Amino acid sequence: MGDRPLRGHLGIPMGRGRLRQQLDFFIHSPRVEVGLVILILTSAVLVVVDILWVGQGRPNVVLMLAELPLRMCFFIELFVRFAIARKKKRFFRHYWLDIIAILPMPPQLTLFRLLPLLRLPRAAILINRNLHYLSPQVSGVYSAQISALLMIVLIMLFGGLAFYIIEGTSNPDIQNLGDALWYSFFSLISAEPIGAYPQTHAGRVITLVVVLAGLTLFAVFTGLISALMVKRLQSVMNIKNFDLDELRNHIILCGWNRSAPLVLQELQSDQQTRHAPIVIVVELEQLPLNELRSVDQNRLYFYQGDYTRIDVLEKVQIYHASRAILLADTSQPRSDQDRDARTVLAALTIEKLNPSIYTCAQLLDRNNNVQLQAAGVEDVVVADEMAGHLIGNAVRNQGAMDVFAELITVQVGNQFYRLPLPAPLASQSFWQVQSYLKNEYDALLIAVERRTDGRRQTYVNPPADYPLQLGDYVVMIARQCPQWS
């Protein structure tokens, strides 16, 4: 037994699984994706320059050598994506065009030099997904329009270069690459050949492809521009329901009730979760948009399905999610006991599929908490119980509700923060850490969290001489989150 490798919950050796997880986070990190966009655009520019050199009869060995490291980067990227893909068929379904784009072709086949341009749709997807890191406002309003515009540029560029290669020397109407690009652009927007007439069968095929693309793609772009002017359509489009394979470190919200919009507002008001994608999994056909008027819908994703099923959780990328929130679902007519039973079942499934995820569950009956604790659910909120405690405290301490209302929301004033204890503060007393945090960060230390025998213990307002240890978490009240290394 000592020679056997330790295995995780999926039967994969733990070392290999950890490496795959690290590679997954790396390849999907914003910096890597932005760098990949730059490499794809650089490759497209090299293709354009290469076609110009070929047209002028000059050798293009220098460009071939310059393109070689780019092609190697793309090969490594796709190999990593293939290695970390849980379902290989899905990988080929999503990246078959990118694989064709990096295939080596003989330099004599000039037309095949356009293959690197097939990666431009991937660049459009990456730009759309990471635009919110550069400009959240532009991403929210113009993300769909930018994607459509990039696709139009791709079709125009591909059609113009192909037409120039095929008929640049035989068509009297095409004197240079600029004429071919204008021909491709006008044919795209007018849905008929304008500015030239193809002389070869290959040129006619290229023209037909550009015209057909113009009939669909340009109409889509026009529709998106119109949708931008109609705010109602914009809000419907922002709550997306499409492929979720590329989401990482996102939040999954399961179920729907009257507290869901407020939960979304709180998540979007916090600095740590403001830009995190949120996937809402519910059995409703569509979300009640009138309840989401005060919520930023740009980072919301909607998936209709039963969140207690494994296949539904896999489709919303539960393996790569950082947080899961389970609400007492009122979207369907069920009894309170059934709602709690579904919450428990979903929590058990989520913790089984992704043991490292943080899970917060809402229950209607505290007696159902035993199964959640056994499953490893970090936090459980009993709504009626919490409301009862608040009302009781408000009656006993008249006026205290203003204090509670400020502390339990991140939208105004002070709020709670839970952070790991910095190493230099280990072995110091509670009062010493309290004084340090108050002097340096204007924060008020109220509790210490420690794990004992694998179980979490929270000590609220411990004695002044209570010693803190490395690995403890401190809970404090502050106006903003303290920043320490």
SS (H, E, C) the chain: CCCCCCECCCCCEHHHHHHHHHHHHHHCCHHHHHHHHHHHHHHHHHHHHHHHHHHCCCCCHHHHHHHHHHHHHHHHHHHHHHHHCCCHHHHHHHHHHHHHHCCCCCCCCHHHHHHHHHHHHHHHHHHHHHHHHHCHHHHHHHHHHHHHHHHHHHHHHHHHHHHHHHHCCCCCCCCCHHHHHHHHHHHHHHCCCCCCCCCCHHHHHHHHHHHHHHHHHHHHHHHHHHHHHCHHHHHHHHCECCCCCCCCCCEEEECCCCCHHHHHHHHHHCCCCCCCCEEEEECCCCCCHHHHCCCCHHHEEEEECCCCCHHHHHHCCHHHCCEEEECCCCCCCCCHHHHHHHHHHHHHHHHHHCCCCEEEEEECCHHHHHHHHHHCCCEEEEHHHHHHHHHHHHHHCCCCHHHHHHHCCCCCCCEEEEEECCHHHCCCEHHHHHHHHHHHHCCEEEEEEEEECCEEEEEECCCCCCECCCCCEEEEEECCCCCCC
Split at pLDDT 50, 70, 90, the class of 325 is: very high
Using one digit for the tens of pLDDT, what is the confidence trace for 421-440? Answer: 988 888 899 999 999 999 98
Tally Cβ neighbours within 10 Å of residue 147. 20
Print the SS3 string covering 172-202: CCCCCHHHHHHHHHHHHHHCCCCCCCCCCHH
Average pLDDT estimate for 210-239: 57
Cβ count within 10 A of residue 103: 11
Give the distance, in angstroms, between the CA of residue 127 and the centroid of all CA atoms in the same chain.
Answer: 12
pLDDT at res. 217: 66
The segment with the largest mean pLDDT, out of 166-175, 190-199, 303-312, is 303-312
Share of the chain above pLDDT 90, in %: 14
CA angle 185/132/91 to nearest 5° reads: 75
Q: Which CATH number fits domain 242-386: 3.40.50.720, 3.40.50.2300, 3.40.50.2030, 3.40.50.920?
A: 3.40.50.720
Question: Which of these, 350, 349, 347, 300, lies nearest to 328 by C-alpha position?
Answer: 347
Entry field: residues in the chain: 485
pLDDT-based confidence at 137, cuts 50/70/90? very low
- Bridge partners (DSSP) listed for residue 415: 478
Q: Give the mean pLDDT of 308-325.
A: 91
Q: Looking at residue 346, what is its pLDDT?
A: 92
Question: In this predicted model, what pLDDT tens digit does every residue of 242-264 receive, in sequence order?
Answer: 567 778 889 999 999 988 988 99
Query: How many whole angstroms separate alpha carbon 19 and alpha carbon 41?
Result: 30
Residue 39 burial by Cβ neighbours in a 10 Å radius (0-12, 13-18, 19+): middle
Among 431, 397, 418, CA closest to 472: 418
Nearest to 446 by CA among 423, 416, 420, 426: 416
pLDDT computed for residue 9 by the predictor: 41
pLDDT tens digits for range 272-303:
888 888 999 998 887 787 788 778 777 788 88
CATH assignment of 28-79+93-235, among 3.40.30.10, 2.10.77.10, 1.10.287.70, 1.10.10.10: 1.10.287.70
**Mean pLDDT across 168-182:** 75
- Between 143 and 367, name the one with better pLDDT: 367
Q: Rounded to the nearest 10 degrees, how much is the dihedral formed by the CA atoms of 343, 410, 278, 344?
A: -10
What is the predicted pLDDT for the residue at 327? Answer: 92
Distance CA 273, CA 135 (A): 16
Q: Check if the beta carbon of residue 255 is closer than 8 Å to that of residue 266.
A: no
Q: Tell me the chain's radius of gyration from C-alpha atoms.
A: 28
Strand duo 379-382 + 444-452: pairing: unpaired
* pTM for the structure as a whole: 0.59
Q: pLDDT tens digits for 407-423?
A: 777 777 888 888 899 88
**More confident site: 381 or 456:** 381
In tens, the pLDDT along 32-82 reads: 888 888 888 888 888 777 776 655 445 567 777 778 888 888 899 889 888
Provide φ and ψ at 430, rounded to 5°. Answer: -60, -40
Q: Where do the structural domains in the chain lie, given as residue ranges?
A: 28-79+93-235, 242-386, 414-485
Domain 414-485 has CATH 3.30.70.1450: yes
Tokens representing 195 are 């500015």
pLDDT for 190 equals 72
